[in-house]
Amino acid sequence: MLKKFLPSEHVKTIFDITPENLKTKGIKGIITDLDNTLVEWDRPTATPKLIKWFDNMREHGILVTIVSNNNEQRVKSFSDPLKIPFIFQARKPMGKAFRKAIKDMGLKREETVVIGDQLLTDVLGGNRNGFHTILVVPVARTDGFITKFNRMVERRILTFFKRKGMLEWEDPDE
């Protein structure tokens, strides 16, 4: 059961994920979380560095869809200026939003990676639905109320994986 929380890989930031590396794995599309994965949960717009990252993905033919549990206003106001498709109130880790994202991108599960900062939503949802998953270290040290609870549970799971040598994880609080 705990293996469903184990990401396929983990990186420090979204910027450690390159289109060249994705292409060697046969990846043509990205389903990414928004808050604390791409930017801090309270940052309304993309940073210049993130805009360059999106442009680099586009130039290499990698499709991106933002899939967030947040509300429409938050996700739309972030995604629209970037012209990036999005799904809001995704109800991750449930599978409906993941399936809609790959259908909209015209891709298969094995051609798509799920990127996020949470084990209980992004990694679990991606793994349950047969995707390659990449866990990133959260970009902010603060979280909304529900995420704070999730982080307590995640910390225990991450500590277990670390102890078993299944995952090397940088705890931002250490």
Cβ contact 38:32 at 8 Å:
yes
CA distance 122 to 43: 20
Rg (CA), the chain: 15
pLDDT digits (tens, 9 = 90+) for 121-150: 999 999 999 999 999 998 876 666 666 777
What is d(CA 146, CA 159) in angstroms, rounded to the nearest whole number? Answer: 20
Q: What is the pLDDT of residue 174?
A: 46
Domain ranges of the chain: 2-163
Q: In which band, very low, low, confident or very high, does the pLDDT at 164 lie, cut at 50, 70 and 90?
A: confident
State phi, psi for 121 to the nearest 5 degrees: -120, -65
DSSP, res 141: S
HSE-up of 116 (CA within 13 Å, CB side)?
31
Residue 126, both tokens? 């991606």
Q: Tens of pLDDT along 26-82?
A: 999 999 999 999 999 889 999 999 999 999 999 999 999 999 999 999 999 999 999
Residue 145: its pLDDT value, please? 61
Return the CATH fold of 2-163.
Answer: Rossmann fold (3.40.50)
Q: Using an 8 Å Cβ cutoff, are 100 and 80 in contact?
A: no
Query: Which class for 86: exposed (0-12), middle (13-18), buried (19 or more C-beta within 10 A)?
Result: buried
Tokens of residue 151, six digits: 């982080």
